[in-house]
């Protein structure tokens, strides 16, 4: 959820010098903009071009060339040129398989830190270093355009970027000499550009289809307050997929398999496909020349064929829109308008599908290539010029921790506005327990192992107390950039332990979405499993308590009673080892029943003792034995 609090009619303070820029660090193209007195403008290069291709070429001297000049080298020297590096931001080796096929370059991996590295022109570079080169180029462009030094920026990221990818983006900015004032989600920035410009009230959707990612947000504008109600998307869906579809079509027309092509040839075929695609935005039919294996052939593609090739991809974006609206509890026709963002929304089939689904003409009066950077620039100005604009985003997945029986206790729910801090109290499970493992997980499922593990840390130095007496307060805080810090504190002594969650690598493409999908698909199953686990935890607790009582008060047992209780315990143990929750509960009840007279005698004696003023330890012991919650 995004919340924009802006006093109606109040404009940011006037200021003399521009000190912060907005950067749309795109998978395909990057754009830099600056805002002065609430008027954002794109900063173009010396030829008046706004888009800076997010492509970097490395020379033998280690120098980096960024943008169109680097794109031009793709075909001649493919092994020196990197594109779409954003897809690897914050990724680890484990994530590579999921994205390998979608990358237009070869990826090397580095065992040192588990992070992805690329081998280029005899050097080994990380995605962070490569992104830093792109950011340096945007910074240089801004400095040239503005005629002054620029050191601060608001940078946009896809709504689905996780902690690792956001941290990687910040690291890249730092390498490029830029202080990041705020990371803002791309659809949020676009919404901001429109919201501030127009101020029209109602429900809006932001549909962003770029080169490599798709994002959809639902937001509401009301009395100067601008709130995003839900977000969703697919980190592996965009115009690149359209290029691939055309490339495959062309290659199959030539009867060649993609596997037989060199890296340079693949890049050349993709470039041809992309030109064809962009041509089809305005023309009904285009003709292209394809050169593979030294042989050139000419092919004609018409728009209808192209639309067939991409129909499944376009349909998928609409399906995601439907899900997100559903999540937010709205019908498509309840939206007052839909904002188009990203170069791929220029494709007529995309434009039309969006118009059909939302039942109205999409808003496109701000250039879809520039709208994100313009929104970022507005936010940069707001953050430096001291306006009343407060911008918040939402957590894409729930954050929680593992508790008894490996159940997940959600602390911050999905779609909660950030920054946010939430705390919950837990207690110890065993007498004398001095440490507690806090296992932080992200996801919607009920069990720890079905969610993504973010971090595990231990709170030590809890003073030995009876089970249930310690008060451990666990606080989850997500900052404005979406980064999570978890603190655990034992309240009676103030013992504290803390972890900043920076996973060593991010989620594989599509994983967040799959996690959401799984949580819906398995909702019933999860509830069943949760109930079963709770029954097992219950069984264990009852067995422990009964055994402790038997040991403590053997003398209170009557003839044969001990054996009956032992056999009831055995039945509970057997039931707990199986998967029938009802059987476990029945066994627990039977045990309660069998132990009832014995428990009654213990109780009577404890009360008598207490009334006799001798000791209340026995009563305490009874109470302690029934308390046991908290993380394992």
The reply on whether position 362 binds ligand ADP by CB under 6 A is no
Region label for 234, one of left (φ > 0), alpha (ψ between -120 and 50) or beta (otherwise)? beta
Nearer to Mg ion, 12 or 210 (CB): 210
Which one of 232, 342, 400, 443 is in contact with ligand ADP (CB under 6 A)?
Answer: 342
For the chain, the farthest-separated pair of C-alpha atoms sits apart, in whole angstroms, at: 104
The reply on whether position 239 binds Mg ion by CB under 5 A is no
The reply on whether position 210 binds Mg ion by CB under 5 A is yes
The reply on whether position 509 binds ligand ADP by CB under 6 A is no
| DSSP designation for 463 | P
Class of residue 279 by CB neighbours under 10 A (exposed 0-12, middle 13-18, buried 19+): middle
Options 24, 163, 234, 526, the catalytic residue: 24
Residue with tokens 């992200």: 442
Residue range at the interface with ligand ADP (CB under 6 A); choices 109-117, 145-153, 217-225, 341-349: 341-349
> Other C-beta atoms within 10 Å of 11: how many?
13
Nearer to ligand ADP, 276 or 501 (CB): 276
Pairing of strands 417-418, 452-459: unpaired
Class of residue 138 by CB neighbours under 10 A (exposed 0-12, middle 13-18, buried 19+): buried
Q: State yes or no: is 208 an active-site residue.
A: yes
Q: Please report how close the Cβ of residue 136 comes to ligand ADP at its closest, in angstroms.
A: 17
Sheet holding 108-109, edge to edge: 108-109, 116-120, 123-125
Please tell me the distance from the alpha carbon of residue 527 to that of residue 502, in angstroms, as a whole number.
30
Nearer to ligand ADP, 26 or 40 (CB): 26
Which one of 234, 265, 369, 526 is in contact with ligand ADP (CB under 6 A)?
Answer: 369
Distance of CA 327 to the CA centre of its chain: 17
3-state secondary structure of 392: strand
Contact 4, 184 (CB under 8 A): no
Which one of 127, 187, 337, 343 is in contact with ligand ADP (CB under 6 A)?
Answer: 343
- Pull the structure tokens for residue 500: 């900043």
Q: Please report how close the Cβ of residue 142 comes to ligand ADP at its closest, in angstroms.
A: 18
Class of residue 310 by CB neighbours under 10 A (exposed 0-12, middle 13-18, buried 19+): buried
Residue range at the interface with ligand ADP (CB under 6 A); choices 22-30, 225-233, 246-254, 598-606: 22-30
212 binds, among Mg ion, ligand ADP, none (CB under 5 to 8 A by kind): ligand ADP
Contact 511, 557 (CB under 8 A): no
Q: State yes or no: is 24 an active-site residue.
A: yes
Options 4, 86, 162, 509, the catalytic residue: 86
Q: State yes or no: is 410 an active-site residue.
A: no
Residue with tokens 């690792």: 164
Q: Which of residues 129-188 bind ligand ADP (CB under 6 A)?
A: none
The reply on whether position 346 binds ligand ADP by CB under 6 A is yes
**Please, where are the H alpha helices in 210-286?**
239-254, 263-280
347 binds, among ligand ADP, Mg ion, none (CB under 5 to 8 A by kind): ligand ADP
Class of residue 66 by CB neighbours under 10 A (exposed 0-12, middle 13-18, buried 19+): buried
The reply on whether position 22 binds Mg ion by CB under 5 A is no
Residue range at the interface with ligand ADP (CB under 6 A); choices 55-63, 100-108, 234-242, 563-571: 234-242
The reply on whether position 323 binds ligand ADP by CB under 6 A is no
The reply on whether position 239 binds ligand ADP by CB under 6 A is yes
The reply on whether position 278 binds ligand ADP by CB under 6 A is yes
Cis peptide before 419 (omega within 30 of 0): yes
Nearer to Mg ion, 227 or 345 (CB): 345
29 binds, among Mg ion, ligand ADP, none (CB under 5 to 8 A by kind): ligand ADP
Q: State yes or no: is 170 an active-site residue.
A: no
Number of residues that bind ligand ADP (CB under 6 A): 21
Residue range at the interface with ligand ADP (CB under 6 A); choices 67-75, 144-152, 342-350, 432-440: 342-350
The site map against ligand ADP for 256-275 (x = CB under 6 A) is: ------------------x-
Nearer to ligand ADP, 6 or 303 (CB): 303
Residue range at the interface with ligand ADP (CB under 6 A); choices 119-127, 207-215, 410-418, 598-606: 207-215
- Pull the structure tokens for residue 456: 């595990």
The reply on whether position 26 binds ligand ADP by CB under 6 A is yes
Contact 360, 20 (CB under 8 A): no
Residue range at the interface with Mg ion (CB under 5 A); choices 95-103, 339-347, 481-489, 515-523: 339-347
Please tell me the distance from the alpha carbon of residue 259 to that of residue 76, in angstroms, as a whole number.
19
Please tell me the distance from the alpha carbon of residue 372 to that of residue 375, in angstroms, as a whole number.
5
Options 129, 133, 171, 186, the catalytic residue: 186
- Strand runs labelled E in 70-132: 81-82, 108-109, 116-120, 123-125
The reply on whether position 27 binds ligand ADP by CB under 6 A is yes
Residues lying near Mg ion in the complex (CB under 5 A) are found at: 26, 210, 342
Question: Known catalytic residues?
Answer: 24, 86, 186, 208
């Amino acid at each position: 959820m995004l919340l924009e609090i802006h006093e109606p009619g109040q404009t940011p303070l006037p200021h003399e010098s521009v000190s912060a820029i907005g950067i749309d660090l795109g998978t395909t193209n990057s754009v830099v903009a600056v805002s002065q007195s609430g008027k954002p403008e794109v900063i173009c290069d010396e030829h008046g071009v706004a888009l800076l291709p997010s492509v970097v070429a490395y020379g033998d001297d280690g120098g980096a060339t960024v943008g169109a000049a680097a794109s031009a080298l793709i075909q001649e020297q493919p092994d020196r040129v990197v594109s779409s590096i954003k897809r690897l931001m914050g990724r680890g080796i484990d994530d590579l398989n999921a994205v390998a096929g979608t990358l237009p370059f070869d990826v090397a991996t580095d065992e040192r830190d588990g992070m992805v590295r690329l081998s280029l022109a005899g050097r080994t570079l990380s995605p962070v270093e490569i992104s830093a080169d792109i950011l340096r180029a945007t910074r240089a462009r801004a400095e040239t355009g503005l005629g002054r030094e620029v050191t601060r920026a608001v940078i946009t990221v896809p709504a689905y970027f996780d902690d690792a990818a956001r941290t990687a983006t910040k690291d890249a900015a730092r390498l490029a000499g830029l202080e990041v004032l705020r990371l803002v989600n791309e659809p949020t920035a676009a919404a901001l550009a429109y919201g501030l410009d127009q101020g029209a009230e109602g429900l809006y959707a932001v549909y962003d289809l770029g080169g490599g990612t798709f994002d959809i947000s639902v937001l509401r504008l009301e009395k100067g307050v601008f709130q995003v109600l839900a977000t969703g998307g697919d980190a592996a869906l965009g115009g690149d997929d359209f290029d691939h579809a055309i490339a495959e079509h062309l290659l199959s027309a030539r009867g060649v398999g993609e596997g037989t092509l060199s890296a340079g040839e693949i890049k050349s075929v993709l470039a041809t496909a992309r030109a064809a695609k962009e041509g089809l935005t305005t023309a009904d039919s285009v003709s292209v020349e394809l050169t593979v294996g030294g042989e050139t052939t000419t092919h004609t593609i018409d728009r209808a064929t192209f639309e067939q090739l991409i129909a499944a991809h376009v349909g998928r974006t609409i399906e995601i829109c439907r899900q997100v609206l559903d999540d937010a509890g709205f019908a498509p026709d309840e939206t007052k308008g839909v904002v188009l963002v990203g170069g791929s929304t220029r494709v007529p089939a995309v434009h039309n599908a969006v118009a059909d689904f939302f039942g109205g003409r999409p808003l496109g009066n701000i250039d879809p290539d520039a709208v994100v950077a313009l929104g970022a620039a507005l936010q940069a100005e707001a953050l430096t010029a001291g306006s009343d604009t407060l911008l918040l985003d939402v957590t894409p997945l729930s954050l929680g921790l593992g508790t008894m029986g490996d159940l997940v206790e959600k602390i911050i729910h999905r779609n909660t506005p950030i920054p946010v801090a939430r705390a919950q109290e837990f207690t110890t499970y065993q007498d004398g327990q001095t440490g507690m493992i806090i296992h932080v997980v992200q996801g919607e499922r009920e069990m720890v192992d079905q969610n993504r593990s973010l971090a595990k840390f231990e709170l030590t130095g809890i003073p030995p107390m009876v089970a249930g007496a310690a008060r451990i307060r666990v606080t989850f805080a997500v900052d404005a950039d979406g980064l999570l810090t978890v603190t655990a504190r034992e309240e009676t002594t103030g013992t504290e332990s803390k972890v900043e969650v920076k996973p060593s690598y991010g989620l594989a493409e599509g994983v967040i979405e799959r996690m959401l999908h799984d949580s819906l698909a398995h909702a019933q199953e999860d509830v069943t499993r949760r109930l079963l686990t709770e029954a097992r935890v219950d069984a264990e607790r009852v067995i422990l308590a009964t055994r402790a009582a038997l040991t403590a008060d053997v003398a209170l047992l009557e003839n044969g009673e001990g054996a009956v209780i032992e056999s009831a315990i055995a039945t509970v143990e057997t039931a707990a080892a199986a998967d029938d929750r009802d059987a476990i509960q029945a066994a627990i009840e039977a045990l309660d029943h069998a132990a009832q007279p014995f428990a009654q005698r213990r109780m009577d004696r404890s009360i008598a003792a207490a009334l006799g003023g001798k000791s209340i330890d026995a009563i305490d012991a009874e109470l302690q034995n029934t308390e046991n919650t908290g993380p394992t």
